[in-house]
Amino acid sequence: MPTFKLTLAYDGTNYVGWQRQAAGTSVQGLIEDALRELDGREVVLHGAGRTDAGVHALGQVASCALGRAIESGVLVRALNARLPPDVRVVSAEEVAADFHARFHARAKTYRYRIHNADVMIPFERHYAWYVFGALDVKAMDTAARLLEGRHDFAAFQTSSGTARTTERTVTRSRVTRTSPEDTAAFAPGVPGVFRRGVVIDYEITGDGFLRHMVRAMAGTLVEIGRGRRSIEEMREVLDSRDRGRAGPTAPAWGLFLVGVEYGDL
C-alpha cells in the first residue's frame, strides 16, 4: 500500500473547515470522497492542521495510504478531476509508509491579510480583513517581533481551547505592507480610490499553533496599529496568559495556511 504526501491549496469560503464534520462540507471530506472513488475503498486522510471554517490554504499537507499502486502525477490529475475548482491537489509524493502529515510536521507558516483602505476592493472581501483608518505598520511589526521565541501563548487561545500545553515556539513573527498597485495586476486600471490603501500581511512561523491563536494575535496587532494599545502591551498580554487581555479574534477569511515544513522524508 503506497503512502502519499499531498500538498493542497483551497479557498475555504464555502467550507466548514478542513476537518470532516457531521454537518456541512469539509475539505477533508471532499478529498476523502474523491480518494474512495479512485481507490474503491474508504481512505483516511490525515491533515497537517485543522483550518477553521472560512480559512484558506496555499500549502496544506495531508497524507494517506492507497490500496493500489499509482503514479504521483496520475494521482494529482485523477483527484483534481473529482474535486471542485476551489480545492486543488498541487502535488503528490510517494513517501515512507510511516509518514504522518500531522505528527511529522516540524513547523507551519500562517499569513493573515489586512486590507487597510478607504474602500475595499470587492474581490478581496473573502481573502482579507477590511480595516478602515490609518494603521501604524511599524508599531505592529515591532509588537509582532515580541512574540518570537518559546512562550506560553494561552492569552491567544480561544476560550474553549483544549490543548494539553499552551507553550509553543515561534521562529518568525513579522508585519509587512504592500501597495494594492503591486498586488492587483489582475485588475489593470483599478480606480484610484482603491489604490489609496495598503495590504498588510502578518506572517508567523512556529512549531505549532493553538486554536484561533493567529487570529487573536492579528486582532491585538490591529489595536496596536490603531494606537489603542502600546507596543509594550503585547508583552504584558503574552505574560498574562489571560485571553481577556488580548484583542479580538480577527475574521477567519483573512487567514491562510502558507506551508508546512518537514525534515527528510
Instruction: Give the residue numbers annotated as catalytic, written as ranges.
Output: 52
Are the C-beta atoms of residues 63 and 101 closer than 8 Å to each other? Answer: yes
Residue 23 and residue 14: Cα distance in Å, rounded?
13
* Residue carrying C-alpha cell 502591551: 233
Are the C-beta atoms of residues 105 and 115 closer than 8 Å to each other? Answer: no
Residue 139 and residue 136: Cα distance in Å, rounded?
5
What is the amino acid identity at position 71?
E
Whole-number CA gyration radius for the chain: 20
Q: Which residues contact 19 (CB under 8 A, 6 or more apart)?
A: 26, 28, 47, 50
Q: Beta strand pairing status for 107-116 and 56-65?
A: unpaired
| Type and span of the H or E element at 213 | helix 213-225
Helix, strand and coil percent figures for the chain, each rounded to 5:
30, 30, 40
Q: Which residues contact 127 (CB under 8 A, 6 or more apart)?
A: 56, 113, 253, 254, 256
Residue 54 and residue 252: Cα distance in Å, rounded?
5
Q: Distance of CA 53 to CAs 26, 87, 162, 174, Å?
A: 8, 14, 18, 25
